[in-house]
Amino acid sequence: METKLPKHIAIIMDGNGTWAKKRGLPRTLGHKKGSETLVSVAKECSNLGIKYLTVYAFSTENWSRPKDEVDYLMSLPHSMISRYEEDLMRDNIKLRFIGFRDRIDERTKKEIDRIEKKTENNTGLELLVAFNYGSRDEIIKATKEIASEVNDGKISVDDITKDYFSKKLFTANIPDVDLLIRTSNQIRISNFLLWQISYSELYFTNTLWPDFSKEDLDKAIEAYNNRDRRYGGIKK
């Protein structure tokens, strides 16, 4: 059977804390190892010819975690960009951060803006990092923007279509997710890309995110290949 590559893969990278706890290590070291896994998975997706990879790095609910863990997670974008900037350019990867930037410190925001600008003309894999992201808040944001446009007379209610709504999301002009992967034996969506995964194939694995390998990615893609995607229709 010919392998069908998903155009857009999304990953809920779960299990960093559990990985660290099993080894008697601080949770922050689990996140550090998880960030290294992200780099290797992104490179593999790039090598395979995947066009879009969206990863859940920090949710709007993660602010409730212990302060030292939150502080470490907030520092990760800056340290990761510094460490892997040359790799992004060499591998022709376009990096984007999606989510709300109001609670992110100015130093990190400037670094995010800089790397997005530097990689914007890269034509390989587009890596979207969902950082301070929550899908319900994203949908409310889009709804408010459209309501304001209607109120100002810029559009009519009849102009509101699924395509128009999609263009108000952080993932505007990005195709919907084909394959959603969640690690660490957690079988839930956790407020991630609720609009964009309407017809995604879901794949759950017991593997903790820091241990997620090329072989694990291959298994997920193989499972995707064995699914019958009918989008509400019937197989001809």
Residue numbers annotated as active site: 14, 62
- 192 vs 59: CA distance, rounded Å: 8
- 93 vs 129: CA distance, rounded Å: 13
Residues 6+ apart with CB under 8 A from 108: 74, 75, 77, 78
- 86 vs 23: CA distance, rounded Å: 32
**What strands lie across the sheet with 52-59, from one edge to the other?**
94-98, 126-133, 52-59, 8-12, 179-182, 201-204
Tokens of 216: 């694990």
CA dihedral defined by 83, 86, 89, 92, rounded to 10 degrees? -70
Compute the Cα dihedral for 45, 177, 174, 37 and give only its sign: negative
| CB 11 within 8 Å of CB 202 | no
**Distances in whole angstroms, Cα of residue 142 to Cα of each of 98, 157, 171:** 14, 14, 11
What are the backbone dihedrals phi and psi of residue 53, each rounded to the nearest 5 degrees, phi first? -135, 120
